[in-house]
Amino acid sequence: MSFTAPIQLPGLTLDPQWFRRSVFYEVMIRSFVDSNGDGSGDIAGLVSKLDYLQWLGIDGLWLPPFFDSPLRDGGYDISDYRAILPEFGSIDEFRDLVTKAHERNMRIVIDLPLNHTSDAHDWFQQSRADPDGPYGDFYVWSDTDKKYEDIRIIFVDTEESNWSFDPVRRQFFWHRFFSHQPDLNYENPAVHEAMFEIVRFWLDLGVDGFRLDAIPYLYESEEGNGEGEPKTHEFVAKLRKMVDREYPGRIMIAEANQWPREVAAFFGSEDEPECHMAFDFPVMPRIFYSLRSQTAGELIRVLSEVTEIPEGAGWGVFLRNHDELTLEMVSEEYRQAMYGWYAYDPRMRANIGIRRRLAPLLDNSRAELELAHALLFSLSGSPFLYYGDEIGMGDNIWLPDRDSSRTPMQWTPDRNAGFSTADPGKLFLPVVQSLVYNYALVNVESQLAQSRSMLHWVRNVIHVRKAHPAFGLGSLAVVPTNHESVLSFVRSYAGSSTQWGDAPERILCVFSFAHNPVSVTLSLLEFAGRRLNDLFGGAEFPTIGDDGSVTLTLGTQSFYWLHIGQAGADVY
């Protein structure tokens, strides 16, 4: 893949591969900090916490939509792509956010739902009122709801059909998500142009990239299944060309909840690149499966599958995000097992997934939280943290839909968890007050004051990861073991000098999902005779035998990151 030289933006290091070295943080503006006491988080509030995020080691923010919206789908129902929802702030405040983030060498990636708008968008209002007008063909209209009948429904909890009848235009319109979110008609070149202009608008304001929301669903056909159809890929490649030509260095991230080969298609090819990054949906539920089943087999299987992606492209790895923990990428048998372990109360489910936060999912087990994060920070791809997970925030399953895990960030034990000075009844969502996760117990301030807190642990691991380019840029090779509960792989990177000199950096990662201590033998023939040292404290581990085997003991649900010494070296 060839890169046009990026233009250096003030404050940012010039690095065409910045996204592969970055640790990202998903922050919902509405949920983070309320600067003016109106009960809703806002841009100025986020700006006030940039120092905190920088201290944590965050290099990039992913901001879910903050545009004008009736907020019937957390902002993914946009009524004006160029306007900021007034309660979140203004364009000037957004400019200030970009400047202040860049001053800290932190990038801003914004969410771009390209597939659909809100039915309150002026385009839809004009489209339904005037079929022959300039927006008449902006949406997918039909006289019948019998088209594309094989295309699945995504929001199975609320939708019975992908078609809804519009009483104004007296036709059906197509929607892959809520019936208030009509799909745009990408068969219409004017829609392409309109979207390109919106992309340019935000790039001109200095954003560093886009998460392309629900990207597989742009086109539908009778022959295909409406997911990643050839014309969808053509559009994404065309968008990439424009971004590379006009805004080199800015990135596109695919949100495609699909199998590895289908997701990988969103990277495009060397000649026809599409996205720089794509979220790894198949690996995520398998982390949760391994934690409860005490087996590493499913993770080993997906990690062993070689999915070729273009040179320079990268995966995005995550544990949780603002949506339900989707189980679309596991078999029915595994899905049922996971519902049993993680969503024993039907209230915990949403669509095909589980609407809970990380800490409650893992029953607030520190060992499991550390193990899950150690995977997040060492798997192939850039890690995306979800706001609040760094302190083990809880959720509120009594709230509707995915609001259960979008509650206000817990900063202090004071009123409204330090999120807002508003009357508590005025908050957009109540703060978590459950027995275990009550904001008086779980908050940033108290965790800053405890050196062994989850927050300090997460920060430390982030900094260790960032000291080793193999994690961001290296390859991953699964290591055979003799224990079904153990996952092991080697991350290797030969590209640049490290604290150990110019020799390739190799890191052995070992994870035990067993609920009791284990002894495991690894087979590392290629590294016979090499020394192993712990990446955190430097402690020396058993040297790999001449036959390539090494036996390690691991405590309950624990892990190691070990530096593999150079051949013949007697120190590491």
Ligand X SMILES: OC[C@H]1O[C@H](O[C@H]2O[C@H](CO)[C@@H](O)[C@H](O)[C@H]2O)[C@H](O)[C@@H](O)[C@@H]1O
Which residues are part of the catalytic machinery? 213, 255
- Quick check: 89 binds Ca ion (CB under 5 A)? no
What DSSP letter does each residue of 507-553 carry, written as one string? EEEEEE--SS-EEEEEE-GGGTT--EEETTT--EEPPPPTTSEEEEE
Return the bridge partners of 537, or none: none
Q: Are 405 and 357 in contact (CB under 8 A)?
A: yes
Choose the one of ligand X, Ca ion, none that binds residue 326, judging by a C-beta under 5 to 8 angstroms depending on kind.
ligand X
- Of the CA atoms within 13 Å of residue 312, those in its CB half-sphere come to 18
Query: 256 or 486: whose CB is closer to ligand X?
Result: 256
Residues 34, 208, 323, 505: which binds Ca ion (CB under 5 A)?
Answer: 34
Residue 435 neighbours by CB under 8 Å, 6+ apart: none
Query: 255 or 370: whose CB is closer to ligand X?
Result: 255
Helices (H), ranges, 147-296? 189-204, 230-246, 260-264, 283-293
Q: Are 128 and 117 in contact (CB under 8 A)?
A: no
- Quick check: 31 binds Ca ion (CB under 5 A)? no
CA atoms of 438 and 428, how far apart (whole Å): 18
Helices (H), ranges, 362-453? 366-376, 444-448
CA atoms of 329 and 564, how far apart (whole Å): 34
Shortest CB 426 distance to ligand X, Å: 25
Segment near Ca ion (CB under 5 A); pick from 40-48, 210-218, 398-406, 454-462: 40-48
The two tokens of residue 155 are 């929001």
Q: Which residues sit at the interface with ligand X, rule CB under 6 A?
A: 73-74, 76, 113, 154, 177, 213-214, 255, 257, 322-324, 326, 351
Query: 74 or 228: whose CB is closer to ligand X?
Result: 74
Residue 81 neighbours by CB under 8 Å, 6+ apart: 67, 198, 201
Return the bridge partners of 278, or none: 254, 315
Choose the one of ligand X, Ca ion, none that binds residue 68, judging by a C-beta under 5 to 8 angstroms depending on kind.
none
Shortest CB 244 distance to ligand X, Å: 25
The two tokens of residue 126 are 């004009």
Segment near Ca ion (CB under 5 A); pick from 29-37, 325-333, 440-448, 545-553: 29-37
Shortest CB 419 distance to ligand X, Å: 21
- Of the CA atoms within 13 Å of residue 222, those in its CB half-sphere come to 3
> Exposed, middle or buried, 292 (CB in 10 Å: 0-12/13-18/19+)?
middle
CA atoms of 264 and 269, how far apart (whole Å): 9
- Quick check: 38 binds Ca ion (CB under 5 A)? yes
Shortest CB 445 distance to Ca ion, Å: 20
CA atoms of 325 and 196, how far apart (whole Å): 31
The two tokens of residue 165 are 């009848």
Q: Are 290 and 337 in contact (CB under 8 A)?
A: no
Single out the residue of 410, 209, 393 nearest to residue 319, CA to CA.
Answer: 393
Shortest CB 71 distance to ligand X, Å: 12
Query: 74 or 209: whose CB is closer to ligand X?
Result: 74
Choose the one of ligand X, Ca ion, none that binds residue 213, judging by a C-beta under 5 to 8 angstroms depending on kind.
ligand X
Choose the one of Ca ion, ligand X, none that binds residue 154, judging by a C-beta under 5 to 8 angstroms depending on kind.
ligand X
Query: 47 or 518: whose CB is closer to Ca ion?
Result: 47
Segment near Ca ion (CB under 5 A); pick from 35-43, 444-452, 466-474, 495-503: 35-43
Choose the one of ligand X, Ca ion, none that binds residue 141, judging by a C-beta under 5 to 8 angstroms depending on kind.
none
Query: 323 or 389: whose CB is closer to ligand X?
Result: 323
Helices (H), ranges, 205-323? 230-246, 260-264, 283-293, 297-304
Choose the one of ligand X, Ca ion, none that binds residue 229, judging by a C-beta under 5 to 8 angstroms depending on kind.
none
Q: For strands 518-523 and 549-554, give the pairing.
A: antiparallel
Choose the one of Ca ion, ligand X, none that binds residue 76, judging by a C-beta under 5 to 8 angstroms depending on kind.
ligand X
Residues 22, 31, 40, 453: which binds Ca ion (CB under 5 A)?
Answer: 40
Query: 34 or 166: whose CB is closer to Ca ion?
Result: 34
Choose the one of ligand X, Ca ion, none that binds residue 324, judging by a C-beta under 5 to 8 angstroms depending on kind.
ligand X
**One-letter amino acid identity for 346?**
P
Shortest CB 108 distance to ligand X, Å: 18
SS3 57: coil
Shortest CB 40 distance to Ca ion, Å: 5
- Quick check: 36 binds Ca ion (CB under 5 A)? yes
Shortest CB 89 distance to Ca ion, Å: 8
Query: 157 or 423: whose CB is closer to ligand X?
Result: 157
Segment near Ca ion (CB under 5 A); pick from 34-42, 126-134, 354-362, 375-383: 34-42
Residue 414 neighbours by CB under 8 Å, 6+ apart: none
Query: 213 or 229: whose CB is closer to ligand X?
Result: 213
Choose the one of ligand X, Ca ion, none that binds residue 257, judging by a C-beta under 5 to 8 angstroms depending on kind.
ligand X
Segment near Ca ion (CB under 5 A); pick from 38-46, 63-71, 210-218, 349-357: 38-46
Shortest CB 213 distance to ligand X, Å: 5
CA atoms of 445 and 299, how far apart (whole Å): 36
- Quick check: 42 binds Ca ion (CB under 5 A)? yes
CA atoms of 129 and 135, how far apart (whole Å): 9
Shortest CB 38 distance to Ca ion, Å: 4
Per-residue CA distances from 443 to 158, 226, 447 (Å) = 34, 43, 6
- Quick check: 421 binds Ca ion (CB under 5 A)? no
- Dihedral sign for Cα 442, 443, 445, 449, please: positive
Choose the one of Ca ion, ligand X, none that binds residue 255, judging by a C-beta under 5 to 8 angstroms depending on kind.
ligand X
- Quick check: 416 binds Ca ion (CB under 5 A)? no
What backbone phi and psi angles, to 5 degrees, belong to 466? Answer: -70, -20
Query: 85 or 212: whose CB is closer to Ca ion?
Result: 85
Binding mask 226-255 for Ca ion (x = CB under 5 A): ------------------------------
Residues near Ca ion (CB under 5 A): 34, 36, 38, 40, 42
